[in-house]
Amino acid sequence: MLEATLLLEADLDLPTLLRHIVEEARSITGARFGALGVVNHERTALSEFVTAGLDAQTETQIGARPKGLGVLGLLINDPQPLRLSRISSHPGSFGFPRGHPEMTSFLGVPIMMRGEVFGNLYLTDKIGWSEFTLDDEETVVGLAVAAGIAIDNAHMHRRVQEVAVYADRDRVARDLHDNVIQRLFGAGLALQSMTAGAEPEMAARMHQVIEDLVTTIRQIRNTIFELGQDEGGDGFRSRLLSVLRELDPTLGFKVDVSFGGPVDTSIPQPVAEHLLSVTREALTNVARHARATRALVEVTVQHGTCRLIVVDNGRGAAVAEARGGGSGLVNMRQRAQMLQGNFEVTFSEESGTSLIWQVPIAP
């Protein structure tokens, strides 16, 4: 038991730790099979299921992992140790799925972490015995206490690593804002002052460089925002970025994105839902029709108006749909009209598609 506890404390990697817990419980009790089910946040089912003692072929035959029905669910509803001499004889038994090996004796013990159930440890088929003993139960309960502490330590260790990463991100974001952006802005002002006395052709080239600098500054600000975001963020920016990441494989390239104004605090939830849907529809059209290699999504909030611009460099993402009377453009226009806004789209087979969708929002 002491050796098993030391082994658990030796590894803070959570997936490896969970498997160690199952293996040590099997070793201590002489169980043929073992599993650890992680309980979901609602405490209604199992969200993860780690097994030991099954070969790869059997794992494949069994298929989907159990969600906590039958005997496995008893510990979810009532987190108390449970010993059975024969699983199938219990009135709550659901039986085994096709391809699952037959199992007889059973021992289940909850794993607690900070007073709450993290998951349940399941052991079946005590080798050489008809059932698990009271000593087995008490020993596994002790192991479960150690496992709960080890899991808690693993969570804290991971959180410390996340805090270190966020601190490093903050430092990089400050350097980008205080140094890089200010220098680019200064270079843009210097070029702006030089255009007054320059030849028309040179002035035009300078203006193009200034526009490129403004675009670069905007992209760096977006990067600064992303560096400061927690992965679990639920603001509009985070939700839109999540949609774009989801569509990257379909498009075959990463979409450029730009934000302007207080998009996280000013866009009402109903408008945000329409924005996300229109963005998804527009980029899906690009993927289906445009043969584009680049696309830009820009969302701005200014003067009580929310504007979405989607531009691609393809052959006209909407050409095929517009000529065929597809529903995508109609849906986007109807969404704008529902919110007293407007929708415009221009396209050609040479220059691609430019889509503007804008609606009023409360100041």
Residues 119 and 264 in one domain: no
Final residue belonging to a domain, choices 159, 183, 211: 159
Final residue belonging to a domain, choices 115, 138, 159: 159
Does residue 324 carry a pLDDT above 60?
Answer: no
Three-state SS string across the chain, please? CHHHHHHHHCCCCHHHHHHHHHHHHHHHHCEEEEEEEEECCCCCCEEEEEEECCCHHHHHHHCCCCCCCHHHHHHHHCCCCEEECCHHHCCCCCCCCCCCCCCCCEEEEEEEECCEEEEEEEEEEECCCCCCCHHHHHHHHHHHHHHHHHHHHHHHHHHHHHHHHHHHHHHHHHHHHHHHHHHHHHHHHHHHHHHHHCCHHHHHHHHHHHHHHHHHHHHHHHHHHHHCCCCCCCCHHHHHHHHHHHHHHHHCCCCEEEEECCHHHHCCHHHHHHHHHHHHHHHHHHHHHHCCCCEEEEEEEECCEEEEEEEECCCCCCHHHHHHCCCHHHHHHHHHHHCCCEEEEEEECCCEEEEEEEEECCC
Final residue belonging to a domain, choices 159, 193, 208: 159
Give the residue, 210 or 222, on which the prediction is more confident: 210
For 33-61, the pLDDT digits (tens) are: 999 988 887 778 888 888 999 888 888 78
Residues 8 and 154 in one domain: yes
Helix axes 200-227, 134-175, angle to 10 degrees: 160
The two tokens of residue 66 are 């159990």
Does residue 325 carry a pLDDT above 50?
Answer: no
In a domain, 213, yes or no: no
Instruction: Average the pLDDT over each of 123-132, 145-154, 274-283, 344-353 and give the range with the smallest value.
Output: 344-353
Does residue 129 carry a pLDDT above 60?
Answer: yes
In a domain, 316, yes or no: yes
Residues 24 and 144 in one domain: yes
In a domain, 89, yes or no: yes
Pairing of strands 295-302, 256-260: parallel
For 184-207, the pLDDT digits (tens) are: 888 888 888 888 888 888 888 888
Query: CATH number for the domain including 110?
Result: 3.30.450.40
The predicted model scores a pTM of: 0.49
Residues 273 and 145 in one domain: no
Residues 99 and 14 in one domain: yes
Overall number of domains in the chain:
2
Does residue 69 carry a pLDDT above 60?
Answer: yes
In a domain, 186, yes or no: no
Q: Mean pLDDT, to the nearest integer, of 153-157?
A: 79
Residues 124 and 268 in one domain: no
In a domain, 197, yes or no: no
Query: CATH number for the domain including 238?
Result: 3.30.565.10
* Residues of the domain holding 88: 2-159
For 86-108, the pLDDT digits (tens) are: 998 888 887 777 778 889 999 99
